[in-house]
Structures are given as structure tokens and as C-alpha cells.
């Protein structure tokens, strides 16, 4: 009888621990994980065009604030008439247009290469440098 009781206690404890494993409370927050670009929200909020998405009214700072408010970016850099938002493995560039703003989304490596003249003075790592790790899943990190 004692063996059956022990087995029951072990099974109940295992079930309780398994039930807690999926909780997303603050104590299990992974500080190295940042958000992905809110592409679905951007698609629903802004007008698609050949170069990305357009907000026909708002200036880049306002659009970048809207995107960041929806899904927090890892970092932000402003240069000339463009605001760059860094996400896990992507960069969102919001550029001033004659009317409104153009929103472009590129993977980190391509975006950094494209906009490096603005980003190389920031704290963002150069993906060509071996210290860049990206933020997505995978081994070898």
C-alpha cells in the first residue's frame, strides 16, 4: 500500500510541475528574447505598396511609435528622415515621404547591409562580425 501511495504522490507532483511549465509569468521571462516584427498588424494597419507599406498621413516618428506600441522593438535609431526599429531578426525602416511615411521590413542582415551608413554608429552589431547572433531559434548560439 505504501508503494501505491508513493507512486500517486509522484504522479501528482509531476502533473503539477508539468502544468506550471507553460506559464508566462515574469519569473520565467527570458531577457535575451525580443519580439518579432508585428507583420500581421502592419498589414492590417497600413496600405501595401511595391516598396512595403504606406501611412499616407503620419510622419516617421509617429508611425514608429505606433509600431513600437503595438509590439515593442529591441532598439530604435533615428537618422535624417528615417526611423529604424530593431526586432529579433529584422529591421523596420520608416522613411519620410512627400505625404506620410514608407514602412519597409527587411531581415537584419540585409537591412543592416542596406542601411549600414546610418546604423554602424549605433550599438547594433554588424552581422558580418562574428559577435552577431541574431535572435531567432537555432543551435550554435
Question: pLDDT value at position 23?
Answer: 42
Region 123-138 average pLDDT:
66
DSSP 128: T
| Alpha-carbon span 88 to 95, nearest angstrom | 20
Contact 54, 47 (CB under 8 A): yes
DSSP 32: T
Domain ranges of the chain: 39-120
Residue 10 has pLDDT above 90, yes or no: no
Which pTM value belongs to this model?
Answer: 0.69
DSSP 111: H
Residue spans of alpha helices (H) in 2-104: 2-20, 39-45, 60-70
Question: pLDDT tens for residues 69-124?
Answer: 999 999 999 998 999 999 989 999 999 999 999 999 999 999 999 999 998 888 88
Q: Which residue has the cell 494597419?
A: 45
Amino acid at each position: 500500500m505504501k508503494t501505491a501511495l508513493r507512486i500517486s504522490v509522484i504522479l501528482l507532483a509531476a502533473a503539477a510541475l508539468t502544468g506550471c511549465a507553460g506559464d508566462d509569468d515574469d519569473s520565467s521571462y527570458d531577457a535575451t528574447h525580443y519580439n518579432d516584427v508585428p507583420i500581421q498588424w502592419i498589414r492590417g494597419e497600413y496600405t501595401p505598396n511595391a516598396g512595403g507599406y504606406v501611412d499616407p498621413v503620419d510622419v516617421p516618428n509617429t508611425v514608429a511609435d505606433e509600431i513600437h506600441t503595438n509590439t515593442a522593438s529591441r532598439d530604435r535609431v533615428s537618422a535624417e528622415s528615417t526611423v529604424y526599429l530593431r526586432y529579433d531578426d529584422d529591421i523596420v525602416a520608416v522613411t519620410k515621404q512627400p505625404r506620410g511615411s514608407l514602412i519597409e521590413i527587411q531581415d537584419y542582415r540585409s537591412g543592416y547591409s542596406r542601411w549600414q551608413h546610418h546604423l554602424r554608429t549605433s550599438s547594433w552589431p554588424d552581422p558580418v562580425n562574428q559577435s552577431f547572433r541574431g535572435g531567432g531559434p537555432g543551435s550554435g548560439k
